[in-house]
Structure 1
Amino acid sequence: MPSPAQPFGTVVSSTGVNLRRYPSTDSSLVGNLNHGAEIGLHSKVHAQTIDGNSIWYLLRDQAVWVAARHVDNTGEVPLSKDAQPAAPQG
């Protein structure tokens, strides 16, 4: 089965994953997603390390970040500097 054209992730942490305004646990908490949730991934950056993993994903449908430590990704997630700009939110 081929990878989807746009990368996505599945939340694998049993407690879910926090949505953050910026890629850091010091950043404001804007929500969370439950275990098993599927999310569209726009791009990734190297930022705060969580349990040995320094990658954070920017979601496709909203301007929030999740720690990759808690998400299994499917497809190739580009680095933020290589990604096309996200569509403006309205």
Structure 2
Amino acid sequence: MPSPPQPFGTVVSNNGVNLRKYPSTDSSIVGALSHGTEVGLRSKVNAQNIDGNSIWYLLRDKAAWVAARHVDNTGQVPLSKDVEPAGPQG
């Protein structure tokens, strides 16, 4: 299966990673990605610090956030000024 268009992320955590409604581990889990999964990234924000990394990515095709600590990105992910709830982008 080909990689998604850039920017995209590859899950590097051996245990996979949870997808969150907001960029925080206190937020509800809305899904999960397994190790090695490639997923399109819409934007990034500075939010909760996870093991020294405070970047969180908003997925392109799903209303969910993922901690950058567990994802290697390929391509330039635009910085979003506001933490918006994951949801339909108008």
* TM-score exceeds 0.5: yes
C-alpha contact (below 8 Å) 2:42/2:77 kept by paired residues:
yes
Once residues 53 and 46 of structure 2 are traced to their aligned partners in structure 1, the CA distance between those partners, rounded to angstroms, is 9
Q: List alignment gaps of at least 5 residues for structure 1.
A: 82-87
The match for 2:63 is 63
The match for 1:75 is 75
C-alpha contact (below 8 Å) 1:5/1:75 kept by paired residues:
no
The TM-score, its normalising length taken from structure 2, stands at 0.84
C-alpha contact (below 8 Å) 2:5/2:40 kept by paired residues:
no
The TM-score, its normalising length taken from structure 1, stands at 0.84
RMSD: 1.8
Q: List 4+ stretches of structure 1 deviating above 6 A.
A: none
| Aligned residues between the structures | 81
Structure 1 residue 53 and structure 2 residue 53: aligned?
yes
